[in-house]
Amino acid sequence: MFQPELEALPVPALRALQLTRLQAMLARQDSQVPAYRAKFQAAGVSAADLHTLDDLARFPFTRKDDLRAAYPLGLVATPRSNLRRIHASSGTSGRATTVAYDDHDLGVFAEVVARSLYAAGARPGMTFHNAYGYGLFTGGLGTHAGAERLGLCTVPVSGGGTARQVDLLLDLQPEVIACTPSYALVLAEALEARGVHPGDLALRYAVLGAEPWAEKTRAAVQARLGVRATNIYGLSELIGPGVSNEDVREQQGSYVWEDHFYPEIVDPHSGEVLPEGEWGVLVLSSMSRSALPLLRYWTGDITRLLPGDNRTGRSMRRMDIIRGRSDDLIILRGVNVYPTQLEAVLATLGQTTPHYQVVLSRTGLLDELTLRLEVPAASAALQDEVVRQVKAQVGVTIRCELCAPGTLPRSEGGKLRRVIDLREAR
Ligand code: DLL
């Protein structure tokens, strides 16, 4: 562990720390952020009403719309002159939002990323190929600072320019790589096209995140790059990458750095808090941020919480993979489907590559889902098997279209859009 005194804090002490930090956060919001004061008044609560962690459920959520309404810096709880950095969220759904950090927040950011990279296998002295995009996106600079904190030699290559990335992987022989999972597959293809084998590289660990992915992709990245791959999760509103990370030794759910981010899982419709183990929307409070403390932020990401305290000795809870965003939920003839569930089905079938695309269309009044799959060799039997297994495991009837290798869109370094919705276009 990078910080055993925190990562393995006994649960009662961790809960006590969380309560104290949440109380301090509420007091700060109440006194420094007029928009929060107004929200508390409207909800009939006051900052002093949090006596136990269960009381948190009485407090209002913060949503993306609150950030939009306060654009650019209306929720900031510190004087402008204290700010040291501003990032902007990707703005893939609706207008972009900005997030701000002071010195303290940048310290927290570096710390949680250092912890994440350590859990992913990185150790001081290793070289780190950082292919997350640098710029307004939090991925590049956020991961960079954490890598420096851990003591890695960082190559700030950023996203894109794949041929150059291949050169650098060969010339500098990094042990650790970080990028989106879809871009890891692009790099694997480019390396193979150049006749490079995993044995020609020093790579050992890949830290993949920023978009949903599942076991099929993990298996492909691990085999083709010769690495062990872990999931890193985060979002700009909370900090950026480094809200949680898997431990490379178990690869079973990402430890939420619970001394800084308080997780809840809520029902997507009622907002009610759900028990541990149930799937729902992840809601996070950024307990120790000073410039932008967010209360019960509705991430829109669908996951579930799993207990901590297993083989790795950490007491902090883990989160499962992100099945999708609540706004990505496809309701197909009454059945809920997330793209990662389809990827999970593909993992149970051989003969497919991890490249797939989901196309939604409408014939008459009926919605259709077509799963487009890249396969080395198309066969009617495989096509039927995919349809049959999706029906059996997910409960929906889909169409399956097999495509030749290299024909589906690839990541250009950033997040890949897998779902194409043609229903509105008609
Ligand atoms: O994507 C921060 C990040 C950078 C995370 C690098 C990991 C690695 P945003 O651009 O604000 O921040 O997008 C946040 O991306 O709400 C999820 O929907 C999605 N996301 C992030 N990590 C994962 C992951 C960064 N590991 C949004 N699995 C989040 C699935 C992820 N989805």
CA Rg value for the chain: 22
Query: What's the confidence (pLDDT) of residue 365?
Result: 80
Query: What's the confidence (pLDDT) of residue 426?
Result: 43
Which residues of the chain are modeled with pLDDT < 70? 90-94, 310, 424-426
Closest ligand 1 atom to 325 CA: 18
Ligand 1 pocket, residues with Cβ under 6 angstroms: 89-90, 132, 137-139, 209-212, 231-236, 240-241, 299, 301, 322, 325
Question: Of 384, 374, 382, whose CA–CA distance to 216 is shortest?
Answer: 374
Q: What would the pLDDT profile of 145-191 be if each residue is shown by its tens digit? A: 999 999 999 999 999 999 999 999 999 999 999 999 999 999 999 99
Dihedral sign of CA atoms 93, 94, 95, 98 in order: negative
User: 3-state class of 389 per DSSP?
Assistant: helix
The CA 209 to ligand 1 mean position distance, Å, reads 6
Side-chain-side CA neighbours of residue 58 (13 Å): 15
The CA 212 to ligand 1 mean position distance, Å, reads 8
d(CA 347, CA 217) in angstroms, rounded, equals 8
Ordered domains of the chain (ranges, CATH) = 1-326 (3.40.50.12780), 329-421 (3.30.300.30)
Query: What's the confidence (pLDDT) of residue 425?
Result: 54
**Beta strand extents in 43-92 (DSSP E only):** 83-88
DSSP 349-371: SSS--S-EEEEEEEETTEEEEEE
DSSP bridge pairs for 228: 205
Q: Give the pTM.
A: 0.92
Side-chain-side CA neighbours of residue 6 (13 Å): 14
- Residue identified by tokens 């990827």 is 343
User: 3-state class of 337 per DSSP?
Assistant: strand
Q: What would the pLDDT profile of 240-287 be if each residue is shown by its tens digit? A: 999 999 999 999 999 999 999 999 999 999 999 999 999 999 999 999
